[in-house]
Structure 1
């Protein structure tokens, strides 16, 4: 599976680039933030797209193969005016756990941390980093190639993270050099070799029929 992550900056041209990549068959899933929307607040320019909330889009996917794998894909925009960037992410993570599914998140974090390649670390970055570490979520960013580029500023503020099992199946993560027609560069990665998530089996002695167990 070929995945692309991008902040479209509400731009028609940036949406057209994504549509072109889809039409050429070079993409399976796009995790987009700040899409181009029409007067009815519907995503415009991209086929078969649905908004789940103002800042978060999720898609529950069952990947077919020798072992069917359940994966929740999430695209999130974390507004910079909120002190705590993890509120909506917490809801998504709790849902994935209830569904016993893997989770992959692509987000415009508006947060700095050297863990994902930023030039410095700020308070939002600390909060988001603590959230990821405490929930055993793996940051997939590598290197220091800026994801946000303007004439006056370059920084890494777009990150990708995933649950531990599926993170082992993600390869070729990189910041693309292709023209995105946005102030955010495209992030590309592949997913291969997905397997069914394993959950430990637990026996509860309170549910045991001891009379039947002890009978000859």
Structure 2
């Protein structure tokens, strides 16, 4: 955008400039309506989506109306927030995801003392995990972030703190809560606990799976 463009004066400071490597004018015809449709599908306000993508609401609004041309890094950030791909944002045909995840394909991954198995398809706005929590791991980490969480205890006993209330969940118990409620999870017994976990992954535009700090990298701000 040239300095003479009258729209430049009302751009909030700190927003990234246009990038000539971004989509062409023809591609913007597909990007703008997709951005708005995906945000509404994720049940996000303009302010919440912009905050998660690291943009101002005014800047995201201009992207949704086709008044600004997004750069590739900007598209990547927005795609992560909405649990989709840049290809889908550009209106390209997205390969059909396999609806079934076989047990043999669920490789264990350690993160912050926990072990988790991805139990759902990647690249979606809702993530499903199978998790094992050893005793004494991450019990002091309090989480607060946009989204929803649901969990179901499979083995052991789980201590779930929601705000000022502590719940001890046994096998067969479940919980479904707003992630903006301060919360933390820990095993209630020395044998640890295992549970199924589903969350909407709205807390970070860069997080793939959010389970606390992995060795050698900062905590992306994820699971309770």
* Same fold flag (TM > 0.5): no
| TM-score, normalised via structure 1 length | 0.24
When you count strand as a share of all residues, which structure comes out higher? 1
Q: More relative contact order in 1 or in 2 (CA 8 Å, sep 6+)?
A: 1
| TM-score, normalised via structure 2 length | 0.24
